[in-house]
């Protein structure tokens, strides 16, 4: 039976009644969010302040860290607010905004990780052409393309496709708004949404996997024919990136599986944790992985003058 009353609010149905445990959970998530902001902002400031880090690889990392701040801010404030409330309700307008922010973060993350794979391929496999291939103008154009493509695409999906649908139900079985669930709750014709989502998802997945596999296939080939020192240098820059890709892919894969398959057999706590992995773990994992593995970043952070300038940059005196 179709609901004739317009849906103005959604209920986030995956929140569990944990009683007084909600306060320790709130504090833990608040500290986690603070760690994400601090670590990413510190590395953004380090790269910005240190002239030795004004190289394509670190500039792309800086853009990645900006995206981590953007993505975590799309989820944590709402999570913290919902944990302390008894009724887990969100307005339709706020839900659509969160969908746009969350999925544009995910799209930009994929774009940036793919771009960084291509950058490593050029640096290791085509070192003589690297300087001419990665000029400041080209770097700015590539970063702008990564961001603008994701923002424009998700603007169209969220407000052009999903936003026009008329929901018949209002219970989303997750702890945050999800585009799949809003489409699923619709009593409008969702054929266009499903076809566009399937074609877009498959095309992007195919392009991303092809480019990353091609880049690292060529890198592996060069490393096998190089000296031990050259291999160590190449691996030193590639391993953090591969770890970041693997971490994000694991979280993203579960989210895709949850959208297409029945995951009711998975316990609710585990399902909630896995669905939040790509939004909560990745933003902290990226700065930790790159900060610990990249020698130049560690050296810049440990320099006394850089550290002092860094604190002043992130926390300017009043």
215 within some domain: yes
Instruction: Output the domain CATH number for residue 137.
Output: 1.20.1070.10
Q: Where are the beta strands (DSSP E) in 71-187?
A: 89-91, 171-172
251 within some domain: yes
38 within some domain: yes
- The tokens describing 102, both together, are 């969350």
pLDDT at 127 over 80: yes
Which range of residues forms the domain containing residue 208? 9-314
4 within some domain: no
In angstroms, the CA 87 to CA 106 distance is 28
Percent of the chain with pLDDT over 90: 45
Residue 243 near residue 269, CB atoms below 8 Å: no
Residue 237: which of 216, 217, 214, 251 has the closest Cα? 216
Please tell me which residue, 226 or 27, carries the higher pLDDT value: 27
pTM (predicted TM-score): 0.88
Q: pLDDT digits over 151-184, tens only? A: 999 999 999 999 888 888 889 988 999 998 898 8
- The tokens describing 260, both together, are 């297409």
Q: Which residue has the tokens 């959604």?
A: 10
Number of domains in the chain: 1
Per-residue confidence (pLDDT) for residue 315, from 0 to 100: 52
DSSP per position, 33-101: HHHHHHHHHHHHHHHHH-GGG-SHHHHHHHHHHHHHHHHHHHHHHHHHHHHH-SS-EEEHHHHHHHHHH
159 within some domain: yes
Please tell me which residue, 179 or 297, carries the higher pLDDT value: 179
Q: pLDDT digits over 132-144, tens only? A: 889 999 999 999 9
3 within some domain: no
Percent of the chain with pLDDT over 70: 92
**Mean of the per-residue pLDDT values of the chain:** 86
2 within some domain: no
Terminal Cα-to-Cα distance of the chain (whole angstroms): 60
- The tokens describing 129, both together, are 């052409």
In angstroms, the CA 224 to CA 1 distance is 64
Report CA-CA distances (Å) from 77 to 19, 20, 71, 108, 233: 20, 20, 11, 20, 40
pLDDT at 306 over 50: no
């Amino acid at each position: 039976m179709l609901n004739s009353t317009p849906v103005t609010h959604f209920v986030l149905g995956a929140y569990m009644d944990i009683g007084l445990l909600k306060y320790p959970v709130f504090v833990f998530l608040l500290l986690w969010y603070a760690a994400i902001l601090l670590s990413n902002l510190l590395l953004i400031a380090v790269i910005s302040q240190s002239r030795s880090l004004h190289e394509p690889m670190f500039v792309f990392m800086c853009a990645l860290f900006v995206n981590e701040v953007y993505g975590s801010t799309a989820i944590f404030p709402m999570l913290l607010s919902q944990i302390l409330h008894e009724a887990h309700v969100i307005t339709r307008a706020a839900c659509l905004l969160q969908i746009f922010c969350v999925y544009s973060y995910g799209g930009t993350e994929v774009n940036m990780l793919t771009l960084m794979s291509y950058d490593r391929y050029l640096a290791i496999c085509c070192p003589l052409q690297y300087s001419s291939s990665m000029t400041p103008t080209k770097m700015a154009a590539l970063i702008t393309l990564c961001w603008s493509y994701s923002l424009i695409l998700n603007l169209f999906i969220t407000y052009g496709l999903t936003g026009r649908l008329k929901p018949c139900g209002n219970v989303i079985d997750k702890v945050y708004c999800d585009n799949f669930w809003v489409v699923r709750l619709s009593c409008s014709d969702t054929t266009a949404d499903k076809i566009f989502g399937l074609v877009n998802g498959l095309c992007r997945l195919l392009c991303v996997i092809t480019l990353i596999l091609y880049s690292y296939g060529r890198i592996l080939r060069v490393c096998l024919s190089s000296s031990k020192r050259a291999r160590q240098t190449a691996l030193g820059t590639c391993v953090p990136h591969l770890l970041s890709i693997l971490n994000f892919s694991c979280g993203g894969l579960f989210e895709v599986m949850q959208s297409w398959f029945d995951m009711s057999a998975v316990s609710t706590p585990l399902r909630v944790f896995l669905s939040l992995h790509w939004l909560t773990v990745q933003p902290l994992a990226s700065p930790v992985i790159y900060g610990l593995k990249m020698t130049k970043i560690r050296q810049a952070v440990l320099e006394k003058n850089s550290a002092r300038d860094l604190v002043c940059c992130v926390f300017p005196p009043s």
